[in-house]
Chains A and B, each alone.
Chain A
Amino acid sequence: MIKMTIDGCRIEARKGETILQAARRNGHYIPTMCYLSKVKPIASCRLCVVEVEGVDGFILSCQAPVIEGMEVKTNSPELFGHRQNIMKLYDVNHPLECGVCDKSGACDLQNKTLEFGVDNQEFSARDHKRDLRKWEFIGYDESLCILCEKCVHVCNEVIGDDAIEIHYGGYNSRIQPKGSEELECTNCGECIAVCPVGAMISTDFQYKANAWELQKVPATCAHCSGGCALDYERKHEGALDRSEPKIYRVTNEFEFTTLCGAGRFGYDFENRTAERDEEAFDRAIEAFKNARTIRFTSRITNEEAMILQRLKERYGYRLVNGDALNYKRFLESYASITGKTLFNGTLDSIAEADGVIVMGSRILTDNPAVRYHITMASKRQNARVAYMHPMEDREMQNVVTQFVKYEVGTEEGVLAMLARTMLEGKVDIKRVESFLDDLDEGYLSAESNVGEEELETLRRSFARCKKIALIIGEDCINHPRAVQIAKLAALFERFGNISVLPVAPKTNSLGVSLICDLDESTEGSVIGYNAPGDFVLSSYGDGDLDMPALNQQEGTFTTLDKRVVPTNAALPYGGYTLCEIAATLGVEARYTIDFTEELPEEKGFKKIRFDDIPYYFDNREGEVRGYEIKRMKHTVDSTIEEVEELPEFNGPILYRCDPVLQFGPQTARASQLKGEEAVLLGSQQFAMAARLKEGDRVKISLEGLEMERVFRIDPELKGTIALNPTFDLGLSEDLLSSLYRFSQSKIEVVGQPNE
């Protein structure tokens, strides 16, 4: 700890901290316009200059580190004068269109203009025509831009798209797409979030509402297992309070959290049912009485999962949820090696790593939160990033340092070879050691197409890494040999001191896998909850009884980060809930969230009331949201089966993979995202192998499910694997979600281009 004073107050600062960070943590205010706590100091606004005793001139507090004994003064008439002058400069020619500006009321420029008492403009500068750009989700109004550079930094340092840059030119400086005329990015919208003025805007939200009319509902994103914090911002549609409230936009606490485009733009997936349909409810109760199975997805809260578990305990229902069952088995097998439930990896452990291995995932679209943390590791620690997958992802090139391509299906063999490479000399259990020594490297290498040389390169480039993170993707978790793969993955945690993060495939796969006692297959009559069944409860409005969508519910999710985080209802819901069905059936509780404190303690959950789960942000601790699930003891069994004969896939292969911003029925329903066409995307080589032409309409049969797609050629892709989305399949999506993602399916041309 470093002792210093700020404005005469003694404070303790951390080594390596900047003056501004120390000041903020200790509750001292220093004005800034360009500072963004989640990126490196930008140092463009110069408002944060302070005086340091014994040093001539003003010191930039956002960049200058703290020094033992330093005495800092954050304000003086002279400092005020300079800051006021800077604000005068910022205000020169800034269009006075606050009345219609999206940012009005929440604008840093307004706030600081007020703070520094700039009430008139004494000088001006000749201005020139400034552009108004509009892309799909994001718009840019150059005349409002103050060139703080926050958007550029967040895009490069946190997201990794590196899609925008500053066009340098003094007074003519502006933000522009990097390397292309139009904006080409993953549309996360963080540039909008961090913009202190109204320059970067959501094209959808523009001119729809004033900041002060919107009510923020802090919640958790329901689209993937990242479980990112977000605020649904809602308002009544009309002038009357009686009118229906509507979500106008989603924002995030961008200083501390990051959100992808699905969370930001795919928010209105609510089930707008007007009333309680008593007849349907009665039919539902009847169906439950006759049913022997409840089939459900992992897009469900912990509390709902708890209700289902209770129903099972009482009535013996079979609970069927494919992806959660696979994940549960994966984790149990994993725990048999480590002796502890769960895993040691977290999102933070990725961001802090100087070596990252991604295995079995197209991570950029699979899980944006994980991808952002890889970006941070790459940018901040210059992390070595090995990307192991049958398909290269060109969008990841700026973080990946080595692409290791393996043959489809050979994940087990590849991970075994990786374990041998990375854990050499570190394994002190004979059984495991001889398992690794006895690997038939020649065979594994030949079948997987991963050469010894590649692994040696990987070993050498990771040799000096001090913190390594291994990310295990869905290709491994939903692999026929997942139980074995899990043991291999666990070796890295146990012997390699490596953080391992098996990425939960769906929003709450982890919660469900911990809470529910799951069954393999259905029997008898099936209740489908957002899944196919004889009686369907649906929050998408297409079932036999309506259910609230996840933006209409209170409850908690268990994120891939092993945290239980609360979400809140952004919109009212007019129908029945699962809690009411359960109550009717004798599993009584007044509210769904009454189950929060009943989540199984033996699995690591805390006995805590929903309302007591923290959800706030401050300068001292950053994001304080939810709690971490405790890792429990587990029996150890270090036997590892020999690697099974590796499967072979030939000819054109389909890879189940949604495009960016799509995560299934929820995003597919959202107004800004629902225009997305389901496209089968392949390389030129795939087109040849599958005998397809650009624009062909094709029919694909997968597990008895038929889907129609338009085929498109992506010049960025190589090889004979095509990306096949499933976000448009509605309830049926669930039937595919637990299968190995690669498949050799029949592709039939049903229509030619221009038909």
Chain B
Amino acid sequence: MARVVFSTWRGESIDNRGKPESEWVESQYKLPEQYETDRNAKAFIGWDGFAIFDEEVDVVRLGTEYAATYQKYSEACGRCAPGRWGGRILYDLMDKIARGEGEMSDLEHLKEVSRTMMETSKCEIGRTVPKPLLDMMEHYEESFRELIEQKKPSKDYSVENIDYIAKVTAPCMDACPTHVDIPAYIEGVRDLRFDDSLKATRQTMPLAHTCGRVCPHPCEDECRRTNLDEPISIMELKRIGADYETDHGFEWLHPHEPAKEKIGKKVAIVGAGPAGLTAAYYLGLEGIDCDVYEELPVLGGEVAVGVPEYRMPIEKYNKDIELAKSVGTNFITNTRVDADMLRRFDKEYDATLLAFGTRLSKKVRAKNEREDMPGYWGAISFLDQVNLWEKYRIGSPVDLTGKTVVCVGGGFTSMDVVRCSVRANAEKVIMLYRRDEKTIIRNTTYEEYHEAVEEGVEFIFHSAVEEIIEDENGRLKKLKVNRFELVPDPDGGRPQLVKIEGADFEIECDYLIPAVSQAADLSLLPEEWELELTSWNTLKTNGRDYMTSRKGLFAAGDCEYGPMTIVNAVGQAKRAASVISRYVRTGEITLTDEEIMEDHLRKLRVYDKSEKVTGWLPGLPRQVSEKLSVEERRDNNREVNLGFTQEEAIAEAERCMRCYYIAMTAV
């Protein structure tokens, strides 16, 4: 909802011009009427129309600036004839009119060039830039006519105190927590320029190997190709650039040259997981020294000791870790940070970033649930033991020969638990889940669920452990399980899970592995700092600059958000690193315009699932990469997903519609 003078956004047609404010119609979209606290926006213009918040806005100048932006941001473009020249002509003609030298025929040329751009441009940026300009020429025709007839410059033509702040986006980029320039890395694959592909990814995502393999890809849920047939396999295309660099042994391809000299600032980072690595990398690129403290003997956090080898080969993850090292990061392992150390960091470092994740397994809340009961095994510690052995030969192997394992979960961690149990030779592996199959797929991925079923995991849905029953020696013996059913809400609300009376059953088992969720271990926080926490018992920030309630102390990743995805941790850490890099220099907490716009656009939503897509041949199937067969993978740690063949990768990349858009706010 936004108060607007005028709006054509997403096809709405609101015209409050000349009406008393009491009669104003509001826009139904979350348009950025307020740019920042204390800074109101005057207008917003983008791929799908424009909106005016301030009646005084000079629309012709606004359009001219928008056309100019298309020129400026053309690194995303300049790749097709209609876009390259058309965009230039749009701007030149708009500017000609705006400076008072236009003629009526220029309006006709504008419309003609716009039509060709909209029909034939390579990417959406070229197809959509003319859209708001045509809207303007229609709804503000008199403004154009006046300038042309009177040969005068537009009102704000020479005014300098208005900022026109632009941002290039795309539905997928908007949906990605770290806003990876997805169309660019896909174009790199399509053009067989894999180095360009990787560079595009690394602008905002240093874990290209990792997030090219184990990302739950929220981007694909907001891929515009879905409106035509199926979403692009965005995630898998990411690893191609990373594999290219690794396969050919190139020197690191950084998004830009790392700073030649250190700037003399130091940042402490607690935790060497995805968030810690990301922050260290981007701070290192800026010439800021980072000391990363890690409790475990190995680097990489949950991706190292949580995600199993068959999904994320450590050899590949180590490449991402080496990248973070390559910018001069100092890693200190086997070091658990405590309150005293944090107090010391507070004095010795210019900033501290907490990125220690959530490493406490939550309970399933059953009767007689005791962590010290033999046979009760928290998911985190189970996966630690499996992965430390399988990847690093630290500790001892997990051998479940002849054992029955029950896991309670429904998310990625529980999938890792059951599939690792299969590989540890368990006789029987059962997953208990409160809700249904559809939900488990939504919470993880179709592939993950499907592969677990193939490997012989038994899924029991609509069930929960009521009681843990031990044997005479106090060892876990069996579980009493309740069954539930989904009862539709007569008022149309969310269906309720209701226990089915008399349907309880028992499962005899050797191990119960709770993998319902994890919590942050906050014991390291100095009490006197009185840090604000969320209702989930995680560190509270405003979700934009990632500073905690204590100045200079930042938090990112799971310890801030709660257990979430790798890409979420990367996105938060990337933003935090950006804020920290300015904070250590100036002492100020600021966001760049790019970041402010990023947040506005996320609120507004770039993806429009009801939009009709034209100009693309529908029905081209999404490519599916080859997987190891069950027989080939069931008893070992070989990577299951073999990745795309080049042919598949190129075919998939060619399906990408390059849905770049430009948004611009006048402030």
Whether the pair A382, B645 counts as a contact (CB closer than 8 A) is yes
A168 touching B650 by the CB < 8 A rule?
no
Query: Number of contacting residues on A, CB 8 A?
Result: 57
Tell me, yes or no, whether B113 is within 8 Å of chain A by CB: yes
B66-109 CB contact bits vs A (8 Å, 1 = yes)?
00001110111111111111111100110000000000001001
A82 touches B120 (CB 8 A): yes
Contact of A90 among B78, B85, B121, B192 (CB under 8 A): B85
Interface string of A81-94 (1 = CB under 8 A from B): 11001100110100
A151 located at the interface, meaning its Cβ lies under 8 Å from any Cβ of chain B in the complex = no
Q: A residues 96-129 with Cβ under 8 Å of B?
A: 122-126
Nearest A residue (CB) for B243? A382
| B116 pairs with A382, CB closer than 8 A | no
**B536 sits at the interface (CB 8 A):** no
Given A33-B81, A397-B248 in contact, is the A153-B191 Cβ separation under 8 Å? yes
Q: Which of A165, A171, A397, A401 has the most CB of B within 10 A?
A: A171
Q: Which of A52-60, A187-195, A564-572 contacts B (4 or more CB under 8 A)?
A: A52-60
Which of the segments A63-71, A332-340, A619-627 contacts the partner chain? A63-71
* B74 CB contact (under 8 Å) in A47, A126, A168: A168
**A379 interface contact, C-beta 8 A:** yes
Given A40-B650, A89-B89, A171 and B122 touching (CB < 8 A)?
A: no
> Within 8 Å CB of B85, what residues of A?
89-90, 92, 125, 171
A70 nearest in chain B by CB position: B617
Residues of B within 8 A of A58 (CB): 119-120, 615
Residues in chain A near residue B192, CB distance under 8 A: 40, 153, 156-157, 379-380
Number of A-B residue pairs with CB-CB distance less than 8 Å in the complex they form: 157
Instruction: Give every chain A residue within 8 A of B115 (Cβ-Cβ).
Output: 85
Q: Is B343 at the interface (CB under 8 A from chain A)?
A: no
CB within 8 Å for A56 and B614 given contacts A147-B78, A170-B71, A398-B248 = yes
Whether B71 contacts A59 by the Cβ 8 Å rule is no
What is the distance, in angstroms, from B487's C-beta to the closest C-beta of chain A?
44
Asked whether, in the complex, the Cβ of B74 is within 8 Å of the Cβ of A381, the reply is no
Kindly identify which residue among A92, A124, A171 contacts B78, using a CB–CB cutoff of 8 Å.
Answer: A171
Q: Interface 1/0s, chain A 376-414, versus B by CB < 8 A?
A: 000111100000000000000111110000000000000
A44 and B122 contacting across the interface, CB-CB below 8 Å: yes
Judging by beta carbons under 8 Å apart, are A46 and B81 in contact?
yes
Give chain A residues whose Cβ lies under 8 Å from the Cβ of B89.
89, 92, 123, 125
Specify which of A49, A122, A382 is in contact with B646 (CB 8 Å cutoff). Answer: A382
| B505 CB–A CB distance under 8 Å | no
A400 touches B74 (CB 8 A): no
B81 engages A146 (CB within 8 Å): yes
Contact A86 B84 (CB under 8 A): no
Contacts of A57 in B (CB 8 A): 119, 614-616
Interface check B190, CB cutoff 8 A: yes
- Specify which of A40, A64, A86, A381 is in contact with B81 (CB 8 Å cutoff): A86
Give chain A nearest CB distance to B441 CB in angstroms.
29
Quick check: A44 and B79 within 8 Å, CB to CB?
Answer: yes
Cα distance, A169 to B75, chains bound together (Å): 5
Residue contact A85 to B116, C-beta cutoff 8 Å: yes
Kindly identify which residue among A46, A123, A172, A401 contacts B80, using a CB–CB cutoff of 8 Å.
A46
- A169 & B248 in contact (Cβ 8 Å cutoff): no
Set of chain A residues within 8 Å of B88, measured between Cβ atoms: 92, 125, 170-171
* Interface of chain B residues 597 through 623 with chain A (CB within 8 A): 612, 614-620
User: A101 to B429, alpha carbons, bound, how many Å?
Assistant: 75
Q: With an 8 A cutoff between CB atoms, is A464 at the interface?
A: yes
Chain A residue with Cβ nearest B249 = A397
**With A46-B122, A89-B89, A92-B89: A170-B81 Cβ-Cβ less than 8 Å:** no
Q: Does B654 contact A (CB under 8 A)?
A: yes
- Would A400 and B248 be within 8 Å (CB), given that A65-B620, A85-B112 are in contact? yes
- Asked if A86 and B248 make an inter-chain contact with CB atoms under 8 angstroms apart, the answer reads no
Tell me how far the C-beta of A456 lies from the nearest C-beta in chain B, rounded to whole angstroms. Answer: 15
Complex interface residues of chain A between 168 and 199 (CB less than 8 A to chain B):
168-173
- Min C-beta distance of A275 to chain B, whole Å: 54
- If the complex has contacts A123-B89, A126-B92, are A147 and B191 also in contact, measured as CB distance less than 8 A? no
Digitize A507-537: 1 where CB-to-B-CB distance is under 8 Å, 0 elsewhere.
0000000000000000000000000000000
**Does B247 have its Cβ within 8 Å of any Cβ on chain A?**
yes
State how many angstroms separate the Cβ of B134 from the closest Cβ of chain A: 16
B654 cross-chain contacts in A, Cβ below 8 A: 41, 63
Q: Is the CB of A464 within 8 A of B646?
A: no
CA distance A166 to B74 in the complex (A): 12
Residue A45 CB within 8 A of the other chain: yes
A46 near B642 with CB under 8 A, answer no
B530 close to chain A: CB less than 8 A: no
* Bound: A59/B613 CA distance, A: 12
Contact check, B616 vs A147: say whether CB atoms are below 8 A apart.
no
Given the known inter-chain contacts A168-B74, A171-B78, A382-B646, please indicate yes or no for A52 contacting B617, CB distance below 8 A: yes
B582 contacts A by Cβ under 8 Å: no
Given A65-B620, A125-B85, A382-B646, A86 and B78 touching (CB < 8 A)?
A: no
* Contact indicator B191/A170 (Cβ below 8 Å): no
Nearest-neighbor residue (CB-CB) of B651 within chain A = A65
B109 close to A122 (CB less than 8 A):
yes
Interface size bucket, B side?
35 or more
Q: How far is the CB of B256 from chain A (nearest CB, A)?
A: 14
With contact pairs A67-B619, A86-B81 given, residues A170 and B120 touching in the complex (Cβ less than 8 Å) = no
Minimal beta-carbon separation of B460 from chain A (angstroms): 37
Say yes or no for A613: interface residue by CB 8 A criterion: no
List residues of chain A with CB within 8 A of the CB of B70: 170
Contacts of B529 in A (CB 8 A): none
Distance in angstroms from A374 CB to nearest chain B CB is 13
A43 at the interface (CB under 8 A from B): yes
Report yes or no: A89 in contact with B614, Cβ–Cβ below 8 A: no
Bound state CA distance, A124 and B106, in angstroms? 11
Give complex CA distance A153, B645 in Å.
20
Which residues from A are CB-within-8-Å of B646? 354, 379-382
Is the CB–CB distance between B617 and A64 below 8 Å? yes
Docked-complex contact A89 and B86, CB < 8 angstroms: yes
Q: How far is the CB of A86 from chain B (nearest CB, A)?
A: 5
The residue of chain A having its C-beta at the shortest distance from the C-beta of B615 within the complex is A57
Bound CA–CA A389/B106 (angstroms): 65
* Contact B619–A156 (Cβ < 8 Å): no
Instruction: Determine whether the beta carbon of A86 is less than 8 Å from that of B116.
Output: yes
Q: A466's closest neighbor in chain B, by CB? A: B645
| CB <8 Å contact, B74 and A43 | no
**CB <8 Å contact, A171 and B74:** yes
Q: How distant is the Cα of A55 from the Cα of B247 in the complex, in angstroms?
A: 41
Known: A46-B80, A122-B109, A379-B192. A82 touches B248 (CB 8 A): no
Q: Are A90 and B81 interface neighbours, CB within 8 A?
A: yes
Which residues of chain B come closer than 8 Å to A43, judged between CB atoms? 80, 122
Complex Cα–Cα for A85 and B81 (A): 10
Neighbouring B residues of A162 by C-beta, 8 Å: 193
Partner of A169 from the list B74, B80, B249, B616 (CB cut-off 8 Å) is B74
Chain A neighbourhood of B612, CB < 8 A: 56
**Docked-complex contact B615 and A401, CB < 8 angstroms:** no
Encoded as 1 (CB less than 8 Å from any A CB) or 0, chain B from 626 to 660 comes to 00000000000000001001110110001000000
Contact of A56 among B84, B92, B247, B615 (CB under 8 A): B615
A-chain residues with CB within 8 Å of residue B190 when the two chains form the complex:
40
Q: Closest approach, in angstroms, between the C-beta of B16 and any C-beta of chain A?
A: 34
Q: Which residues of B contact A173 (CB under 8 A)?
A: 74, 78-79, 84
Closest B residue to A396 by CB, please name it: B248
- Give Cα distance in the complex from A339 to B124, angstroms: 59
Which A-B residue pairs are the 5 nearest by beta carbons?
Answer: A170-B74, A57-B615, A57-B614, A89-B85, A56-B614
Of the A-B pairs whose beta carbons lie under 8 Å apart in the complex, a sample of 8, sorted by A's number, is A46-B81, A55-B614, A63-B654, A89-B113, A123-B92, A166-B78, A170-B84, A400-B248
Q: Knowing that A86-B116, A168-B74, A168-B77 touch, tell me 7 more A-B residue pairs with CB under 8 angstroms.
A: A55-B618, A59-B617, A89-B84, A123-B89, A153-B192, A400-B248, A464-B642
Q: Which residues of B contact A (CB under 8 A)?
A: 70-72, 74-89, 92-93, 106, 109, 112-113, 115-116, 119-122, 190-193, 247-250, 612, 614-620, 642, 645-647, 649-650, 654
